[in-house]
């Protein structure tokens, strides 16, 4: 779509073609509204991307997990690295076991580590199978 210029409108008015000039003015108004709508959409997208960037900057990687500042619950590294989704892990306690254990209820990875050591992971096939079962 080509947008008429003010000089086009002036030429039409000078030529006595006021209806044509009004049509061009309406085209200009419609174009201005479209630009305004596009501008609002782009501003919303910029805010979204800035929030995403801020989140990524405040994300820390420690002991294989991802942590957001001020959040005491880690995020699943598998879900974040494969799908860019921040999914909280669930802490699991086992009797007579001093290791730390976490589970992801989205990708079904289990994570274990001795206190203060990096975590290692594995897929819990039984939990994945049970989640897909229809009762």
Please calculate the CA angle 91-92-94 and round it to the nearest 5 degrees: 150
The pLDDT assigned to 128 comes to 55
Residues 1-22, mean pLDDT to the nearest whole number: 88
- Domain range annotation of the chain: 6-57, 63-132
Average pLDDT of the chain to the nearest whole number: 87
Please report the DSSP string for 68-121 in residue order: ETT--S-B-HHHHHHH----B-EEE--TT--SEEEE-TTT-EEEEE-TTSPPEE
Helix, strand and coil percent figures for the chain, each rounded to 5: 50, 20, 35
**How much is the average pLDDT of 43-57?**
91
Q: How many CB atoms neighbour CB 92 within 10 A? A: 13
Average pLDDT score over residue span 36-46? 97
**Contact predicate 93/103, CB 8 Å:** no
- Structural tokens at position 73: 């619950």
Q: Is residue 67 within 8 Å of 56, Cβ to Cβ? A: no
Mean pLDDT on 68-82: 92
What mean pLDDT do residues 59-77 have?
92
């Amino acid at each position: 779509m080509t947008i008429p210029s003010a000089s086009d409108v002036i030429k039409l008015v000078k030529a006595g073609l006021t209806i044509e000039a009004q049509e061009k003015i309406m085209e200009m108004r419609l174009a201005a509204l479209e630009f305004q709508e596009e501008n609002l959409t782009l501003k919303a997208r910029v805010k979204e991307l800035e929030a995403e960037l801020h989140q990524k900057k405040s994300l820390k990687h420690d002991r294989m997990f991802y942590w957001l500042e001020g959040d005491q619950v880690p995020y699943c590294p598998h879900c974040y690295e494969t799908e860019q989704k921040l999914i909280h892990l669930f802490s699991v306690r086992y009797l007579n076991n001093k290791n730390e254990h976490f589970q992801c209820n989205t990708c079904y990875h289990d994570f274990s580590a001795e206190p203060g050591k990096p975590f290692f992971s594995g897929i819990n096939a039984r939990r994945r199978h049970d989640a897909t079962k229809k009762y």
